[in-house]
Amino acid sequence: MTSVNETRSAFLDFFRQAGHEVVPSGPLVPRNDPTLMFTSAGMVQFKNLFTGVEKRPYQRATTAQKCLRAGGKHNDLDNVGYTARHHTFFEMLGNFSFGDYFKPVAIENAWNLVTKVFQLNKERLLVTVYHDDDEAFDLWRKIAGLPESRIIRIATSDNFWAAGDTGPCGPCSEIFYDQGERVWGGPPGSADEDGDRFLEFWNLVFMQYEQIGPGNRAPLPRPSIDTGMGLERISAILQGVTSNYDVDLMRTIIGAVANLTGVDPDGPQAASHRIVADHLRAAAFLVADGVDPSNEGRGYVLRRIMRRAMRHTQLLGAAEPLMWRLVPTLVQLMGQAYPELVEAQARIADVLRSEETRFRTTLARGLSILEDETRDLRAGDSLKGDVAFKLYDTYGFPLDLTQEALRARDIAVDEEGFAASMAHQKAEARRAWAGSGEAATDAVWFGIRDRVGSTEFLGYAAERAESQV
Ligand code: ATP
Ligand code: MG
Ligand code: MG
Ligand code: MG
């Protein structure tokens, strides 16, 4: 069996041999980029190379990049536990050309890696291209010898990448693996494409235009390549399993959770196991990259992730804080590839332990209130916004924790009501502070807070400008 660690190395070695500089992963919190909440793709650390603003001594690079898709434009948090292919934290393998090679080399490399090194069955592979990208279509036919029926033209933005309203952009081509009829789902572009049978595992982006203004696009003099392959997805394919959560690395973490709780990882509580394992990685890597749990911004995303996991450790019957006890297993699995994890090991365990200890004092109480408040609700009903707000404000339940707790019963949360309660409380707090005789400084303080809040909000919006890959 090819382990996750071996697959990561095989990818990097392949591209090193093809003349690429092996560059370490950038941090999960992008440097000097306030528009981005978290690194969500391999290209993030290279943004300025594509635009030519920055130059480096290499024109080809390859990376295994730590990515987080929770909060911001890319948000897979709600998928975790429920789809076989999504994580919050995952590793994206990539190869990049900064104005060096273009489509023919990118497609040839991709095909060679997938069919010769990874030795995937060609009959099970299919690709998509942007609907008007005849060049890519022809290359897939010539280089890979794929029949036209397995080169699917897609007209949606899924297959066109843009940095924003202006700047570099171009068509994508994605590679899919047919996991066979044992998995539900249809081919890309079909009505059932959300299923997992046809698993997208590699996205190749061909940056070939510059968007100058609306409807005005010019060819880039030196087009570039940006690709992203999900390490956990390709590992699942190589290990013959149909879920990311069944690859050796995730399975080992889940095994540790099962050891500590005594709960069958494949039984009715399998989703809790997956959520704990996924969120452990996300939380540990965020702490290692300097994020602390807080009530705002990135720190709040971390807190939400941790608390959601902690609710599931509770569901798994853990009587004591549990997350921190999983840290040694994680460090053993991933510490070699990511030394920052080893370095931060003690801090990660401390943060997890104290956060879980604190949250446990209110978690049980909040859950029983949630139960009381929803006893008479049925599928299709909504929980009142002020109750969700009380759970948030008094018991530390992030909104998505409440939503997820009710999801199995098909009960929604009145989000508008929640927001209204929040706004009301803020206004009350302002009034109270204004009466305290420190109005001027308080106004300044709230001003900053609000601005920080709205900057972050703009940040999310600006992320629409971010890469798909
Ligand atoms: P999907 O359609 O499955 O959500 P995507 O199109 O959003 O994936 P891209 O933005 O194209 O993903 O990212 C490039 C690659 O990264 C994907 O082909 C996939 O292999 C991997 N990937 C993306 N999101 C995740 C995730 N949440 N967990 C694990 N791997 C992911
Ligand atoms: Mg996605
Ligand atoms: Mg996709
Ligand atoms: Mg994609």
The 10s digit of each residue's pLDDT in 226-242 is 999 999 999 999 999 99
Of 196-205, 421-430, 439-448, the range with the lowest mean pLDDT is 439-448
The verdict on the CB of residue 201 being under 6 Å from ligand 1 is yes
The minimum-distance atom of ligand 1 relative to the CA of 80 is: 27
| For residue 426, pLDDT beyond 50 | yes
> pLDDT averaged over the chain?
90
Output the CA 54–ligand 1 centroid distance in Å.
Answer: 27
Share of the chain above pLDDT 90, in %: 80
Q: Is the pLDDT of residue 177 over 70?
A: yes
Band (pLDDT 50/70/90 cuts) for residue 430 is confident
Q: Is the pLDDT of residue 469 over 90?
A: no
The answer to whether residue 345 scores a pLDDT higher than 70 is yes
H-run or E-run covering 345: helix 345-374
pLDDT at 434: 63
Mean pLDDT of 331-346: 98
pLDDT grade for 446, boundaries at 50, 70 and 90: very low
Q: Which helix (H) or strand (E) holds 212?
A: strand 198-213
Residue 326, amino acid: L
Q: CA-to-CA distance for 4 and 10, rounded, in angstroms?
A: 10
Report whether pLDDT(436) > 80.
no
Distance CA 88, CA 441 (A): 39
Cβ atoms of 236 and 246 closer than 8 Å: yes
The ipTM assigned to this model is 0.99
Compute the distance between CA of residue 349 and CA of residue 428 in angstroms, rounded to an integer.
38
Tokens, residue 276: 């704990």
Ligand 1 lined by 466 (C-beta under 6 Å): no
Share of the chain above pLDDT 70, in %: 92
User: Would you state the pLDDT for residue 438?
Assistant: 46
At 299 the three-state DSSP class reads helix
Q: At residue 456, does pLDDT exceed 50?
A: no
Confidence check: pLDDT of 423 > 80: yes
Alpha-carbon radius of gyration of the chain: 23
Atom of ligand 1 nearest to the CA of 76: 27
Q: How far is the CA of 232 from the centre of ligand 4 (A)?
A: 14
Q: End-to-end alpha-carbon separation of the chain, Å?
A: 28
Q: Which amino acid is at 121?
A: N
